[in-house]
Copies of this chain bind each other. A is one copy, B any other.
Amino acid sequence: MKKASLIVANSEHSADMFYATGFRAPDPFIYFSYGSRKAMILSALEFDRGKTESHQGIKIFRYEDFIKNGRRGMGDVLRVLAKSLKVEQFRVPADFPLALADFLRKHKIDVVARAKGFFPERKFKNEKEIEYLREAQRITALGMQRAEEILRASKLDRDGGLHWSDAALTSEVLRAEINIELIRNGGFAASTIVAGALQGAEPHNEGSGPLYKDSPIVIDIFPKITATGYHGDMTRTFVKGKAPEIVNQAYDTLFKTRETCKMKVKTGVIPAEVHNDAVQMLNDAGFPTGRREDGKNFGFFHGLGHGLGLEVHEAPYLSPRDTTPLRGGEVVTVEPGLYYPEWGGIRLEDVVVVREDHAECLTFYPNKLEVD
């Protein structure tokens, strides 16, 4: 049976498509490979741009040339393609759109989703990609630095609210300033987290409203770098003023946990074990994980880390579910967090490259809780 590999997606949402083509386009287009041949099918709207902006060695066809008998839908074009290649099976990514697959199957073209990843090699970064990720972390640090500067420069209102640039300092204002700093440096962030006080107890709460002194503010920045498409990812937690004793203790415990876990990361290590070690360390230090009677989660209730690359969250995962030994070239975050509905949250996140006998850290940013 003759087979071809096929992606139909827009490359802003599909990292596989961007990886395959290097071509950014906001609407779905076709990429296929067949033996050693690689090609894209683009509409007139994108054709000329595709020729100059995509990876070398990819042949580019015109969508319009695959339109037969007035049929112009994506499925019709793929039928014409299959016929002209004499292909009986398309191998596609796991997230290939179901309706399109069913259409092709109805017309006797086999469609098989590759469960293990369309480009398994995307997990393993080469040195050029690691350089992109290092640069992404450098730009991300500029955003964090901007946040810290603003917290430092902010004054206190009578009620303990932070005040900056003649206005209340809110999560929204601080997020905007971080994102602006990223834009000025070639990065681009959709949903930077700036979560103060009890909002920080929900790990993905983006944060809203006024920020206050003496309670932790979680700042999680994960921009896409415009030039390369790779992401940075960094979390720090700050207290403007004086941290309560419990927050100080939690911070020190998290810092030690993160550093210990980073030292465990290397080739051959089981991700789930590193995660479980972190849970254990936090628990042993007096920070248990569980669920309150009112149903709220407390402690450390997300994965310790995730792969980082063209996607912010990608394989491998430092989570209880991932038992495939780590291998060199994988790049993962290490980000233990502690979240308590009584006082808020803390998370500290670095990025490391898995090397043969150690983890190389790509994050260079101080870990200091209190900001004067």
Tell me, rounded to whole Å, the shortest Cβ–Cβ distance linking A183 to chain B: 5
Whether A44 touches B301, Cβ cut-off 8 Å, given contacts A94-B98, A97-B94, A202-B49, is yes
- Our pick among B47, B115, B179, B190 for the contact of A99 (Cβ within 8 Å) is B115
A97 to B93, CA, bound (A): 9
A202 to B42, CA, bound (A): 13
Tell me, rounded to whole Å, the shortest Cβ–Cβ distance linking A82 to chain B: 16
Chain B contacts of A203 at CB under 8 A? 45
Instruction: Indicate the member of A98, A111, A312 with the most B CB atoms within 10 Å.
Output: A98
Inter-chain contact A191/B97, CB cutoff 8 Å: no
- Our pick among B49, B94, B183, B321 for the contact of A204 (Cβ within 8 Å) is B49
A198 to B221, CA, bound (A): 36
A114 to B99, CA, bound (A): 8
Residue A13 interfacial (CB < 8 Å): yes
A197 to B48, CA, bound (A): 15
Tell me, rounded to whole Å, the shortest Cβ–Cβ distance linking A20 to chain B: 17
- Our pick among B99, B115, B190 for the contact of A12 (Cβ within 8 Å) is B190
Which positions 86-125 of chain A face chain B at CB distance < 8 Å? 92, 94-102, 111, 113-115
- Our pick among B26, B179, B296, B313 for the contact of A312 (Cβ within 8 Å) is B26
Residue A302 interfacial (CB < 8 Å): yes
Chain B contacts of A184 at CB under 8 A? 176, 180
Q: Which residue of B lies closest to A114 (CB)?
A: B99
Chain B contacts of A248 at CB under 8 A? none
Chain B contacts of A296 at CB under 8 A? 48
Residue A243 interfacial (CB < 8 Å): no
Residue A72 interfacial (CB < 8 Å): yes
Bitwise interface map of A from 173 to 184 toward B, beta carbon under 8 Å scored 1, else 0 = 000100110011
Q: Which residue of B lies closest to A302 (CB)?
A: B45
Residue A205 interfacial (CB < 8 Å): yes
Residue A131 interfacial (CB < 8 Å): no
Q: Which residue of B lies closest to A227 (CB)?
A: B172
Q: Which residue of B lies closest to A14 (CB)?
A: B13
- Our pick among B13, B48, B94, B297 for the contact of A297 (Cβ within 8 Å) is B48
Residue A27 interfacial (CB < 8 Å): yes
Inter-chain contact B98/A26, CB cutoff 8 Å: no
A94 to B97, CA, bound (A): 6
Inter-chain contact A183/B179, CB cutoff 8 Å: yes
Extra 17 A-B pairs, beta carbons < 8 Å, given A96-B99, A99-B115? A12-B190, A26-B204, A43-B302, A45-B203, A45-B301, A45-B302, A48-B297, A49-B204, A72-B321, A95-B97, A98-B111, A101-B101, A102-B113, A180-B180, A180-B183, A183-B183, A190-B190
Cross-chain pairs A/B with CB under 8 angstroms, 25 sampled: A24-B191, A26-B204, A26-B313, A27-B313, A44-B302, A45-B204, A45-B302, A46-B204, A48-B202, A48-B297, A48-B341, A72-B321, A92-B98, A94-B98, A94-B100, A95-B99, A96-B98, A97-B113, A98-B111, A99-B114, A102-B113, A176-B184, A179-B183, A183-B183, A188-B190
On A, residues with C-beta under 8 Å from B are 12-13, 24-27, 43-49, 72, 92, 94-102, 111, 113-115, 176, 179-180, 183-184, 188, 190-191, 201-206, 296-297, 301-302, 312-313, 321, 341
Give 5 closest A-B pairs by Cβ, nearest first: A94-B99, A99-B113, A44-B301, A45-B302, A96-B98
